[in-house]
Chains A and B, each alone.
Chain A
Amino acid sequence: MSSRTQAAGLGAVELPLDVASIRADFPILRRTVRGGEPLVYLDTGATSQKPRAVLDAEREFYEQHNAAVHRGAHQLAEEATDAYEAARGAVARFVGAQFDEIVFTKNATEAINLVAYAMSNAATAGEAAQRFVVGPGRRIVVTEMEHHANLVPWQQLAQRTGAELAWLPLTDDGRLDLTDLDRVVDERTAVVAFVHQSNILGTVNPVDVIAARAAAVGALTVLDACQSVPHQPVHLPSLGVDFATFSGHKMLGPTGIGVLWGRPHLLATMPPFLSGGSMIENVTMAATTFAPPPQRFEAGSPPVAQAVGLHAAVEYLERLGMPSVAAHEEVLTAATLVGLQEIPGVRIIGPADTVERGGAVSFIVDGIHPHDVGQVLDDRGIAVRVGHHCAWPVCRRYGVPATTRASFGVYNDLADVDALVAGVRAAQSFFGVAS
């Protein structure tokens, strides 16, 4: 174990999680890549790997319980419905929410679009939906560090409704600049959409400060929690926001399932986004009334097997304990920040220490394009993300075309950090920019 507990500049460090036993649960981590290199997976920010428990749960559902949910009265239909709804309960418990406050979607992007489109639909959805109406003279506020998923839907909402788009800028050290918070989030503001933990900078934002200002002007708040819920204990109802979204595949669960959490009084009056089967109360040839939430927002066949897989993922994380997960990833992040910054010519894009930041570490290697850094790392079996990370405005803000990003999961240890640091040095040597 000693080789696994030595990291650049940190000496011997105890990791909170037993990585050896965790890694045994993830079959993919045993494979090799690029001609025999052991896989060093540092791209969990893009998508996490899946433990066997998640894969087994999906297979068991299909082999033993598969049926259409919320319809039919046969035994399998009951079992499938129970499995689907039990997943809702597990996810609710995981983020401190009530059962009916959890809506399953295709992914987090769809969850954000659900709210944005519900807001455009509100104009023609009657008196009860007035709370959601936006239009000329109103303002939609985002931040400059949003993933495209929490930027483009709001740009589009502004375009559809004639509302104005405004945003909170960034400081040079990778944090939100809240100097003008009161001026940007003004009395006209209808909604403030912002990220909990940046997928590119790693920054953890002061949700309470922004939510309090939004509440003071009567604006709705939508939190992108895709990078926080998988990596730290998150109790959504205490954050002060109205809606939050996250995705299954980034938290050891399957692809094809995302989550929208909303305050019950808001879900109760919010008009639907997608319509069709499963979301109705009563249908005649002329008109339809809608089911109460969460069914109102789950039109069509839901992602049942994915929900079952996500249920297993949530239980897996609960067994590890989210405080331990967060502490574990903080050690890895600290080691990475130290190790990379010891290399001349390497620059962190984002906070340079672990204060209010999570385990996504973006960096620039002077003289080598991120694609080329990534290629050298890939040649050594190290999987990182290169590019603009679906946060192009962040790259523009810091004057870089792209970054290389390492991000961590429960299965990473300090040997992975060492491999990354050695790989970056190898890239410098390969391209002849070593100092």
Chain B
Amino acid sequence: MTRELSYAEAVREALRQEMRSDERVFMLGEDIGVYGGAFGVTDGLLAEFGPERIRDTPISEAAITGCAIGAAVTGLRPVLEIQFSDFITLAMEQLVLQAAKIRYMFGGKARVPMVVRTPGGSGTGAAAQHSESLEAWFAHVPGLKVVAPSTPADAKGLLISSIRDDNPVIFFEHKLLYRTRGPVPEEAAAIPLGLADVKRQGADATIVATSGMVTRALAAADALAQDGVGVEVIDPRTLRPLDTDTILASVRKTGRVVIVYEAVKTLGIGAEIAARIAESEALYSLQAPIVRLGGQECPIPYNRELERAAVPQQEDIVAAVRQVLTA
């Protein structure tokens, strides 16, 4: 059975169901208890699970991240909320030098089953230090997995998989998606990590879009459909591991590709996707150069119009698809 939930509710339902079914799962983070989390995601969980399992922490990102790692290595399955993904910079050492490497450098013996849930992205007027999209940093690190769901159903199913995974998973939620609604299964159904989803089928062009850009890509595809253009929209959903096969299959079919992501364009996930296409025989199917639409080369500004101009919008995506169609 499915029913409509918001993205935030879907995340919360995944947390609740996994905490009910596995007593090793607990949460820690800043203001996740009484306050309910800065974006309300953990609202109500304190009442059900109590302060031991919904654990408010001091503002100490390095320590609470290490705390999750230490708990994971000794048999628990912590879910850490980092209040804004920008603040993950304060925990980089613990995530990149400890969590990601412990298993490998100890000869494959330790397990680090932990999830870092963190809201990313712009569009809320939160300006330069609360609006970044840093997922590519983590997708560059062997030992980590990186997940970025774009729909309520994906948020739930992928978070369940992430919690059950025996590796450290960085789970990027998007602030603008929290209130979006969609059908979500009632049961705790896991969606495997490393599997892209074809969000819309089409024969004329492929858009590969991530996180908040998936919604915009689908809207752009709707607009293009008015003109008879069939756009296929692929959401990788997991950035590490990246499901290259699904992307390449679509490229072979359409021969035209636009890659849309909110992070700064240079060295973002779009560069990796474009390179994988270029390195494969799917290159020979291309009828136009690949177009990458990414964030502008600047911090996220405060002003509404400037902020809007800093990341791809629906009209930019429509224009990019038209560009690959006419090339």
The answer to whether A and B interact is no
Residues of A within 8 A of B (CB): none
